[in-house]
Each structure stands twice: as structure tokens, then as C-alpha cells.
Structure 1
Amino acid sequence: MALFAVEYTYAPEAAAVRDEFRPEHRGWLGAQHEAGRLQFVGPFADGSGAHLMITADDADSAREFLTGDPFARESAIAAVSVRELTQVYGPY
């Protein structure tokens, strides 16, 4: 398994959609964290998006994993960046 840094950029016009589906989104994130696939996650303070650190076999698997997020299903994300990270320090 490898680590992948994921950056969500939120679509400003989809704020109401995110508000509606945030409880389901947070439930999905919590389940993924408990399962060990999501290492950490948090929104940017300015509301423009979020950062996730996930584990996956490869970048394609990481992108496929993200399709399970209710925000992705509801088109509440404008852009997604997935980059493999080489960890030097920190928990994992």
C-alpha cells in the first residue's frame, strides 16, 4: 500500500449540496478512517476544499476509492488532485 495526498477543490455553486450531504459524507469518511483507508482528513479553513491522506495500491485505485464519497456522487467537488506521497516522518 502507498500513501496518496488528495486535494478536493469545492465547486462554490455546490455549497448547498455539500450542506445537504455533509452528514453522509462525514459518515463515509469516518467509516473509511476506522477501516484504515483514510489516514486523516480536514477541510481548508477558507472553505475552498479539503485535504485527505489515503492508502491505496496505486493512483487508479485511489481515484476509484474516492468515487464512494457522497460529495463525489453528488457532484459537489469541482476538481480532485491525487498524488502519491513518499513519507519521511509521521504516523502510518
Structure 2
Amino acid sequence: MAQFVVQLRFDLDRTDQRMEVRPAHREYLAALKADGKLVAAGPFTDQTGALLVYDVADEAELRDILAKDPYTPADVYEIATLAEWQPLFPFS
């Protein structure tokens, strides 16, 4: 398993569309968390983006997860960062 950090940058011109799909996005994240695929997630307080930490087999699995996120077909974000992460102090 590998951990990846994904930083999303929200399209601020599409905030209304993001708010419409946000409940489905959050349900999707809750299911990933229950399955052990999502370690942590949350928006930045200024609502310009979000940070997510995934625990997946590889980047291919992560990209499949991102493709299935309701935010993706709604086209409300871009990926600012997608990087494999090696935590020194893991989440407990």
C-alpha cells in the first residue's frame, strides 16, 4: 500500500455547481474512509481547495478513485498536487 496526498484547487467560478454536488462527494469520501482508502480529507478554511490523503495500492488505483468522485464529472476542481507521500509521523 502507498499513501498519496492530493491537493484540489476549486474552480471558484463554479462554486454553485460544487455546492450542488458536494453532498454526493462527501458521501463518496465517507465510503472510501469506511473502506480504508481515505485517511483524511477536508477543505481549506478559505474554501479555495481541499487536501486529501489516500491509502491505496498505487497511483492507478488513486486515479480510478478520483475519476469516480462526483466532483470530477462536475468539473469543479483541478489537481494542484498529486504525490506519493512518506509520512514520518503517521495518523493514529
Do both share a fold (TM > 0.5)?
yes
Gaps of 5+ in 2: none
Matched pairs, number: 92
What is residue 7 of structure 1 aligned with on the other side?
A: 7
- 1:81 CA displacement: 2.0
Q: Do the aligned residues in 1 keep the contact of 2:6 with 2:79 (CA within 8 Å)?
A: no
TM-score by length of 2: 0.91
Work out the CA distance in 2 between the residues paired with 1:28 and 1:89: 27
Whole-angstrom CA distance in 2 between matches of 1:8 and 1:43: 9
Where do 4+ consecutive residues of structure 1 move more than 6 Å?
A: none
Counterpart in 2 of 1:66? 66
For 1:43-58, list aligned pairs within 5 A: 43-58=43-58
Quote the RMSD (CA, aligned, Å).
1.3
Percent same amino acid at aligned positions? 29
Matched AA of 1:22: R
Q: Structure 1 residue 30: deviation in Å?
A: 0.5
Give the Å deviation of 1:80.
Answer: 4.3
Q: Map Cα deviations across residues 32-76 of structure 1 (whole Å, 9 max, x no partner).
A: 101100001000011110000001222232122111110112111
Amino acid at match of 1:70: P
- Give the Cα–Cα distance (whole angstroms) in 2 for the partners of residues 30 and 58 of structure 1: 20
